[in-house]
A and B are shown apart, each in its own frame.
Chain A
């Protein structure tokens, strides 16, 4: 038994409900951006619960703009990353929802270590803190981000905790409170 077995109604998703819409989205994206999409994983075929599109980094912004404005996926549900311990190392994971149909898709962008990603704040302002969190936890830099500081950890912290090579135990103790940056209120 795995996720390919029919998904039961008590978990809130139905292949039957969104199956056709997912196909339409996948066909539309592959027709408009044949070069931008590296791979497409569809539920029922791969081990995913919603269609997952792997995008190339330099064309990700255009595809997301299309998804937002044309296909109606205008709600950024979640924006995070995973450390795959492979080459390329990181996957950025973006979950989008359509407010009219409540249909969801997942976007993934592969990034090598030290590779920078252009920011998505121009599409969704809410991406601001999400990108700060990804920077804090994974050390991925975002080009064009206005305020790329650590968000959960202390400013003086060393290392990025959600990387797989980060140790599980160990302390960094700061005896003085976190300094305030007066520039932030200018």
Chain B
């Protein structure tokens, strides 16, 4: 009788090790029962590019031995839009809208990072209020991104109502973002040297109400799912990526912290005012699906803490850097004076010049390190606009992660590393 599909197959008990060998080595995992008439019957399974479990247009081919994945390879590029090429052919101001479509779950973080990287090349310092607003945007986007990641991961494994709790809160967050910039998903909120518009009066108060609600909702979500026996069985010990593998495959962000790789650029390389706020960096040790889920849940709480501190400390003030090169002229001046009109025309038609130089500006995005490597040779367009998206490197780690796991766990692993197609394909 074959019981190779039972859970006993990969326990660490001495009986099982005697029967099937050490489960930690790859060969032993694939060793089959002698009585199995289907031994060595290999099946190819294609998942994607359009499959509800794939969260975007990418494809995974897996070679199965029974239910166990022997080898897989991933294909993507279905949403490749040539953003890096566009970055070399659009002015710095025009490229802001393209950054929304990178990680579309947390568009504000991309906006903020891009604005920071260009400002760094130009040596511009934005005023204090703009920095606080940008920090609040980044943390709000991080909460949204983590809510959707843990929600969708749970939906894939069958916990549908859990997802709706998070989604409700996410919609309210989008309403807050809409009050900031008029758009919900494709925000384009930052400008080089400032922001599109100031936060409306009372926005911080509404944000604080939302934080209070979200705290309760996250606690409720935690109670609903974390200790659930089915959830634990589906996630604990599944798709392990340990610390060494994380370094090999350049994992960053929550996925690396789940494996004990304690790097958070907000704490280690504080940009903006992250050195002035108080927060903890959650770190787990195993690096399985459960740890990735739980690190994200804890990070939501920490982000809410940061948001509260930002909302308390923000003061009235200007939102534009005092720099004539990047400041978009006031509409009043544009419509009523000749000089203003010329300024407006020159700004939008030919753009502003960025001095010669090159800089790599990383920021801790929701999924990991998002970096813009901009090479400027002078002039209004970049010579090279490299976008280092975390998903590219995480998706590469999927194959070693799921080797020797069940095919059903592929869905859990993919949901837990939160690969976003827009950032992967660029």
Chain A residues with a Cβ under 8 A of chain B? 1-3, 5, 7-13, 47-50, 74-78, 80, 82-83, 93, 95, 99, 102, 104, 106, 124-126, 128-129, 133, 137, 151-154, 161-162, 166, 168, 178, 180, 182, 184-185
17 A–B pairs (Cβ distance < 8 Å), ordered by A: A3-B357, A7-B120, A11-B120, A12-B363, A13-B269, A47-B355, A48-B358, A75-B247, A76-B250, A95-B373, A99-B247, A102-B268, A104-B360, A125-B248, A129-B396, A185-B44, A185-B72
A-B pairs with beta carbons under 8 A, tally: 142
Q: Which of B120, B363, B426 has the most CB of A within 10 A?
A: B120
Is the Cβ of A10 less than 8 Å from the Cβ of B388? Answer: no
Residue of A9, A50, A153, A166 touching B360 (CB-CB under 8 A): A50
Number of chain B residues close to chain A: CB under 8 A: 63
Given A106-B360, A151-B77, A184-B73, A3 contacting B123 (CB threshold 8 A)? yes
Is the Cβ of A47 less than 8 Å from the Cβ of B356? Answer: yes
Task: Confirm or deny: B196 has a beta carbon within 8 angstroms of a beta carbon on chain A.
Answer: no
A78 to B269 alpha-carbon distance, docked (Å): 17
Chain A minimum-CB-distance residue to B74: A129
A126 to B396 alpha-carbon distance, docked (Å): 7
Chain A residues within 8 Å of B208, by CB: none
Chain B residues within 8 Å of A137, by CB: 84
Is the Cβ of B360 less than 8 Å from the Cβ of A78? Answer: yes
Chain A residues within 8 Å of B63, by CB: 185
> A128 to chain B: closest CB distance in Å?
7
Interface of B, helix, strand, loop or mixed by DSSP: mixed
Is the Cβ of B250 less than 8 Å from the Cβ of A12? Answer: no
Residue of A74, A82, A153 touching B80 (CB-CB under 8 A): A153
A78 to B374 alpha-carbon distance, docked (Å): 13
Task: Confirm or deny: B343 has a beta carbon within 8 angstroms of a beta carbon on chain A.
Answer: no
Complex interface residues of chain B between 48 and 99 (CB less than 8 A to chain A): 61, 63, 71-73, 75-77, 80, 82, 84-85, 88-89
Complex interface residues of chain B between 346 and 388 (CB less than 8 A to chain A): 355-363, 369, 371, 373, 375, 383-384, 386, 388
Is the Cβ of A126 less than 8 Å from the Cβ of B358? Answer: no
A125 to B250 alpha-carbon distance, docked (Å): 9
> A147 to chain B: closest CB distance in Å?
9
Is the Cβ of B386 less than 8 Å from the Cβ of A78? Answer: yes
Is the Cβ of B271 less than 8 Å from the Cβ of A162? Answer: no
Task: Confirm or deny: B294 has a beta carbon within 8 angstroms of a beta carbon on chain A.
Answer: no
Is the Cβ of B271 less than 8 Å from the Cβ of A12? Answer: yes
Task: Confirm or deny: B272 has a beta carbon within 8 angstroms of a beta carbon on chain A.
Answer: yes
Sample of 17 further A-B pairs with CB below 8 A, known A11-B116, A99-B263: A3-B123, A7-B120, A12-B269, A12-B361, A77-B388, A78-B360, A78-B373, A78-B386, A93-B373, A95-B373, A99-B261, A102-B265, A162-B84, A162-B85, A162-B88, A168-B85, A180-B46
Residue of B358, B363, B396 touching A49 (CB-CB under 8 A): B358
Chain B residues within 8 Å of A161, by CB: 82, 85
Residue of A8, A48, A124, A182 touching B250 (CB-CB under 8 A): A124
Is the Cβ of B396 less than 8 Å from the Cβ of A128? Answer: yes
Task: Confirm or deny: B425 has a beta carbon within 8 angstroms of a beta carbon on chain A.
Answer: yes
Task: Confirm or deny: B131 has a beta carbon within 8 angstroms of a beta carbon on chain A.
Answer: yes
Chain B residues with a Cβ under 8 A of chain A? 44, 46, 61, 63, 71-73, 75-77, 80, 82, 84-85, 88-89, 116, 119-126, 131, 247-250, 261, 263, 265, 268-273, 275, 355-363, 369, 371, 373, 375, 383-384, 386, 388, 392-393, 396-397, 425-426
Is the Cβ of B249 less than 8 Å from the Cβ of A125? Answer: yes
Is the Cβ of A3 less than 8 Å from the Cβ of B250? Answer: no
A11 to B270 alpha-carbon distance, docked (Å): 8
Chain B residues within 8 Å of A106, by CB: 360
Is the Cβ of A75 less than 8 Å from the Cβ of B250? Answer: yes
> A151 to chain B: closest CB distance in Å?
7
> B74 to chain A: closest CB distance in Å?
9
Chain A residues within 8 Å of B263, by CB: 99, 102
Residue of A49, A168, A180 touching B120 (CB-CB under 8 A): A49
Chain B residues within 8 Å of A154, by CB: 77
Is the Cβ of B360 less than 8 Å from the Cβ of A47? Answer: no
- In the complex, the 8 A-B pairs of residues with the closest C-beta atoms, listed nearest first: A12-B271, A47-B357, A2-B355, A3-B357, A152-B77, A1-B123, A49-B359, A126-B250
Chain A residues within 8 Å of B121, by CB: 2-3
A141 to B375 alpha-carbon distance, docked (Å): 23
A184 to B356 alpha-carbon distance, docked (Å): 44
Chain B residues within 8 Å of A178, by CB: 75
Chain A residues within 8 Å of B273, by CB: 10
Chain B residues within 8 Å of A77, by CB: 250, 360, 362, 369, 371, 388
Is the Cβ of A129 less than 8 Å from the Cβ of B375? Answer: no
Is the Cβ of B261 less than 8 Å from the Cβ of A3? Answer: no
> B341 to chain A: closest CB distance in Å?
27
A133 to B261 alpha-carbon distance, docked (Å): 26
Chain A residues within 8 Å of B250, by CB: 75-77, 124, 126
A133 to B388 alpha-carbon distance, docked (Å): 12
Chain A minimum-CB-distance residue to B263: A99
Chain B residues within 8 Å of A2, by CB: 121-123, 355-357
Chain A residues within 8 Å of B356, by CB: 2, 47
Chain B minimum-CB-distance residue to A108: B358
Chain B residues within 8 Å of A50, by CB: 360
Chain B residues within 8 Å of A78, by CB: 360, 371, 373, 386, 388
> A110 to chain B: closest CB distance in Å?
14
A77 to B371 alpha-carbon distance, docked (Å): 9
